[in-house]
Amino acid sequence: MATPQLEFETDVASRIYRYVERHGSATREEVRDEVRVEETDGAKPPRSGTESAARLSVAESNEYIDDLLDSGPLTERDGRLYVSPDVESETHETDEFEYVIRPADEDDREAIADRIRAVADEGAIVVDESVADAIERDGALIRLNERESRMFFVAETRPEGGSEDAGGRSENGEIVGWVHVQGFELPARSHTAELTVGVTPEYRERGIGGTLLERGIAWAAEQDCIKVYQSLPATNEAALDMLDEHGWEREATRDDHYEVEGKLVDEVQMAKRLDAE
């Protein structure tokens, strides 16, 4: 999956987006303080790149930010700016409850890392331990820039009678699963994406994992990805069966590739072609 090729009308707009994207979220004042321009004689900053020197006026800074909000790259909630992937939330039902599949944002970072580590501790998903490390180490959960594409969707319960905000976040909802889609900058791998999915134990066997899987695949396809893949311990039979049911193929097995609970376990490499659908 190729990294996004972003285009902005001005250098200032580009730097505002990149500041928010790099830090996960920011207030308008933080943006105004950090995104500086060369001083001009009372005129608006030039459209080409300039050396940082002076802050924009409040009105000028807000104008650039409002343009980014109107055109879609950013969104604003509770006084903070976030990167805004062009994705709608989806509501789903089980026999017992409703849940929402929505794009994650910076406020979800800690919860997602906790869920990933909990599932990884079961020995069910090995590769996602490195994902948890990365999102705890990096400045942002979602990365959508020319060098990196990292997208998360979460499954969040929606309590009966509860409301949700414009981004699909449920009031008093609980994140019970995630799907992670990682694209690559290297041209030789730009047609592929690594996809991993996990659901907390008490919410399994309700179709949430399959719904997350399909949402992640749809996102990858929208980004012109041709192939998605993931690797799993052979002991994770439930996940392997789910991937089989959703049309994934077993490409290879590496013997004794993982050590899980003191035992050597094979790795099963799974993949699905998206250009054949």
Place 2 in a pLDDT band, splitting at 50, 70 and 90.
Answer: low
- Token pair of 180 as six digits: 């992670």
Q: At what angle do helices 109-121 and 128-137 cross, to 10 degrees?
A: 150
**Residue 144 buriedness (CB in 10 A; 0-12 / 13-18 / 19+):** buried
The predicted-structure confidence for 237-265, as pLDDT tens digits, reads as follows 989 999 999 999 999 999 999 888 889 99
Q: Do domains 11-83 and 90-273 have the same CATH topology?
A: no
**Residue 93 buriedness (CB in 10 A; 0-12 / 13-18 / 19+):** exposed
CB atoms within 10 A of CB 153: 26
CA distance 77 to 83: 11
Q: Is the pLDDT of residue 49 over 70?
A: no
- Token pair of 53 as six digits: 């020197």
Where exactly are the structural domains of the chain?
Answer: 11-83, 90-273
Q: Is the pLDDT of residue 209 over 90?
A: yes
Bridge partner residues of 158 (DSSP): 98
Give the mean pLDDT of 157-164: 75
| Higher pLDDT, residue 187 or 15 | 15
pTM: 0.83
Q: Is the pLDDT of residue 131 over 70?
A: yes
Domain 90-273 has CATH 3.40.50.1820: no
Contact 217, 228 (CB under 8 A): yes
- Give the pLDDT of residue 188: 84
Class of domain 11-83: mainly alpha
The predicted-structure confidence for 93-104, as pLDDT tens digits, reads as follows 999 999 999 999
Number of H helices, E strands in the chain: 7, 12
